[in-house]
Amino acid sequence: MPAPAERSTPSWPWPPVLQASLGLHAAAGTAALWEPGTWPWALGSVVLNHVGLTAAGLWPRSALLGPNVRSLPAAAVARREFALTLDDGPDPEVTPAALDLLDEASVRATFFVIAQRAAQHAGLVREIVRRGHDVQNHSLRHRHDFSMRGPRALAQEIGSAQALLADLTGQAPHCFRAPAGLRNPLLDPVLHRLGLHLVSWTRRGFDTREGDPARVLRRLIGPQARALAAGDILLLHDGHARRTASGQPVLLEVLPPLLHAARDAGLHPTTLRAALPARHSP
């Protein structure tokens, strides 16, 4: 009986912006060699190129550096689905209360967890999964300098989180969200190799720095002209949650009216695992 064929990861598709960047570097180098007097212009063009690439990495919803899921696919939109995502947990105080609120509303959410925190609260992570929610990769340590790391460090940070979360939940994540949404051009080749989608959001509440639940809610449900809609991916936080003036985590004040608004709009909650096909098998 012949041995099964080995699966190979598809080659990484270079984003057009990075192809153009390589071409510019080559052209600048050639010009400086053949016409030494052009070196200031050549250097200036390279510097401007790097500024542009850095700006793209600092724009969390940018797709210039590679694929970036900012809303649900068309099939989910047709089903009038939206996805609620919660970042930076698990938190032993906030996450259980959030789970109870989600249960009351019969809503399933996606939790982008920090793997080291997940390991510290393994029982809580398993409870998230037991209640039917989705657990995805938000890095190992949520480093503040994540977007400045090289390919080896990125692979270690994301790959270690991937292995840890697969062990805790019994299912490997297929989505990744960068800490604070910030990244560099070296990230997507790592995600591609690991079979991970980069996921950002459609709407965010800024609930790690905003203590007024009403303002957080307005950002998520939007004005009438840009109201909460099918396909939206919403970002809130069960970890690093800002507190209200009374000491209550903002998330817990926002969830009930948010889920009520979604229901009134005829929207149905889904998880990223249910809505988003795998990028490919790593």
Known catalytic residues are 87, 237
Distance from C-alpha of 107 to C-alpha of 105, rounded to nearest angstrom: 5
C-alpha distances in Å from residue 54, one per residue of 28, 57, 58, 60, 157: 19, 5, 6, 11, 21
Token pair listed for 275: 């809505």
The crossing angle, in degrees rounded to 10, of helices 16-34 and 39-57 is: 160
Distance from C-alpha of 183 to C-alpha of 138, rounded to nearest angstrom: 13
Q: Count Cα atoms within 13 angstroms, Cβ side, for 177.
A: 28
